[in-house]
Amino acid sequence: MAFRSGRHSLQIPGPTNLPDRVLRAMDQPLIDHRGPEFPAVTKAVVAGLKRAFKCSGPVAIYPSSGTGAWEAAILNTLSPGDKVLAFETGQFSTLWTKLAQRHGIEVDLIPGDWRHPADPAQCEAKLVADKGHAIKAVLVLQSETSTGVASDIAGIRRALDRARHPALLLVDTISSLAIQDFRHDEWGVDVTVGGSQKGLMLPPGLGFNAISKKALAAGKTAKLPRAYFDWQPMIDANDSGYYPYTPATLMFFGLKESLAMLDEEGLDNVFARHDRLAEATRRAVRAWGLEIQCADPKAYTPSLTAVRVPDGFDADEVRKTILDRFDIALGAGLGKVLGKVFRIGHLAYINETLLLGTLAGVELGLAAAGVPVKRGGVDAAMDYLGGNTPAAAAPAVAAARR
Ligand SMILES: *Cc1c(COP(=O)(O)O)cnc(C)c1O
């Protein structure tokens, strides 16, 4: 490949760009994970994660990708033959339910068109109809990364409550944690699944479970075999600041730093920044004359925008042109939307100018790929961002800080 000057633009919806601060924090000699210094690291990262998840119970940290944390959530709460309710919002919801099926879980998957969020009314109807309480858990993604559709977790909680159904609520926040508001305790979530490589600005390699009291209690009688992913030995070891097996030491150093960065910016400001950049991106897409995959404006996820290419064009060819000409990596269409969409990640360590550079590359690349688009997307984004300072975008936050 020809030499490329300047930085590669990694604008996929995860892994995301690493802040230099995080890289430097990880560029350290290893320490003894059973020695006297490690408990302070454990305590800092667990406390920081609790602020991010807005939870008060334990948070398990696995040396795994997000998929491992999905599996842990299932193994620690369910028994073979248990039934769960899930929503086909896109590729990741489908993969999570397939994983559950491989463990002998029966999945009632509410079909979807990959353009709309999980519907609390459908959830309520299913639960009301389940008089015998055969459904043991509801699985939902706060942000479906394959389509850019966000589901209303508080709304799903209310559906469970209205149905007076005891099912556990298991939520995937892998592409929404530290990007949009999430409240594990307040929304009565039983297991929240997270991962390191998206909003948390880290390399791939850590998976998280935030765990409620109800989930812990369910774990006492859950019968799926579990060993490595068992919560209890980790919770026991964490009490004294240690892990039952070798934790990913350098990732912990990086996590401590990224959590400190989130504290410095303030979570509400982090959310407002993502909202602003996401809206600027959508304005660019509309100005180009292209369609956004998410068909419900209330359900846009702030982490990414999935853009539909016109019929007769292959989104992967467009992505290839943009990568070859402008060194920008965009997310591919996955599963049912393969070749139909490309995804612009606008999450984690990103600001206005990084986004505008990306949008400019996409605008030029679309034209270079022969897609009939109008110019002016970048201008539309600039118009919005220029008139939309942080204080204007989040008056409540700005007021609270005065
Ligand atoms: C990225 C992602 C996953 C998969 O995580 P891996 O780290 O690739 O295992 C699962 N769910 C969602 C919503 C994601 O965005």
Residue 230 DSSP class = -
CATH number at residue 206: 3.40.640.10
Same domain, 149 and 175: yes
Q: Is the CB of 67 under 6 A from ligand 1?
A: yes
Residue 256 dihedral angles phi and psi, to the nearest 5°: -60, -40
Residues 5-32, mean pLDDT to the nearest whole number: 97
Whether 2 is covered by a domain: the verdict is no
pTM score of the predicted model: 0.96
What is the spatial distance between Cα 301 and Cα 331, in angstroms, rounded to a whole number? 15
Give the DSSP letter string of 256-285. HHHHHHHHHH-HHHHHHHHHHHHHHHHHHH
Q: Can you give the C-alpha Rg of the chain in angstroms? A: 21
Residue 86 dihedral angles phi and psi, to the nearest 5°: -145, 170
Residue 123 — pLDDT band, cuts 50, 70, 90? Answer: very high
Whether 178 is covered by a domain: the verdict is yes
Residues 298-312, mean pLDDT to the nearest whole number: 98
Residues 318-329, mean pLDDT to the nearest whole number: 98
CA of 372 to the centre of ligand 1 (A): 32
Residue 402 — pLDDT band, cuts 50, 70, 90? Answer: very low
Give the DSSP letter string of 292-336. ES---GGGB-TTEEEEEPPTT--HHHHHHHHHHHH-EEEBPP-GG
Q: Is the CB of 195 under 6 A from ligand 1?
A: yes
The pLDDT of residue 2 is 81
Overall number of domains in the chain:
2
Residue 303 — pLDDT band, cuts 50, 70, 90? Answer: very high
What is the spatial distance between Cα 55 and Cα 171, in angstroms, rounded to a whole number? 13
CATH number at residue 376: 3.90.1150.10
Residue 290 DSSP class = P
Owning domain of residue 315: 9-16+267-386
- 392, burial (CB in 10 Å: exposed 0-12, middle 13-18, buried 19+): exposed
Show Cβ contacts of residue 16 under 8 Å, excluding neighbours closer than 6 positions.
Answer: 10, 197, 198, 199, 201, 345, 347, 348, 349, 350
The tens digit of pLDDT for each residue in 246-275 reads 999 999 999 999 999 999 999 999 999 999
Candidates 97, 98, 143, 145: which one to mutate for ligand 1, based on the most atoms within 8 Å of Cβ? 145
Same domain, 204 and 148: yes
Same domain, 172 and 137: yes
What is the spatial distance between Cα 397 and Cα 216, in angstroms, rounded to a whole number? 35
Whether 234 is covered by a domain: the verdict is yes
CA of 97 to the centre of ligand 1 (A): 13
The pLDDT of residue 388 is 58
Q: Is the pLDDT of residue 196 over 50?
A: yes
Residue 387 — pLDDT band, cuts 50, 70, 90? Answer: confident
Write down the mean pLDDT value for the chain: 96
CA of 37 to the centre of ligand 1 (A): 32
The pLDDT of residue 395 is 45
Q: Is the CB of 71 under 6 A from ligand 1?
A: no
Q: Is the pLDDT of residue 237 over 50?
A: yes
Q: Is the pLDDT of residue 399 over 50?
A: no
Say if residues 137 and 168 touch (Cβ distance below 8 Å).
Answer: yes
Q: Is the pLDDT of residue 390 over 60?
A: no
Whether 395 is covered by a domain: the verdict is no
Give the DSSP letter string of 15-54. S-PPPHHHHHHHSS----TTSTTHHHHHHHHHHHHHHHHT
Q: Is the CB of 271 under 6 A from ligand 1?
A: no
The pLDDT of residue 1 is 64
Residues 34-47, mean pLDDT to the nearest whole number: 98
Q: Is the CB of 15 under 6 A from ligand 1?
A: no
**Nearest partner of 14 among 255, 147, 202, 192, judged by Cα:** 202
Same domain, 277 and 352: yes
**Secondary structure percentages of the chain, helix, strand, coil, to 5:** 45, 15, 40
The tens digit of pLDDT for each residue in 169-195 reads 999 999 999 999 999 999 999 999 999
| % of the chain exceeding 90 in pLDDT | 95
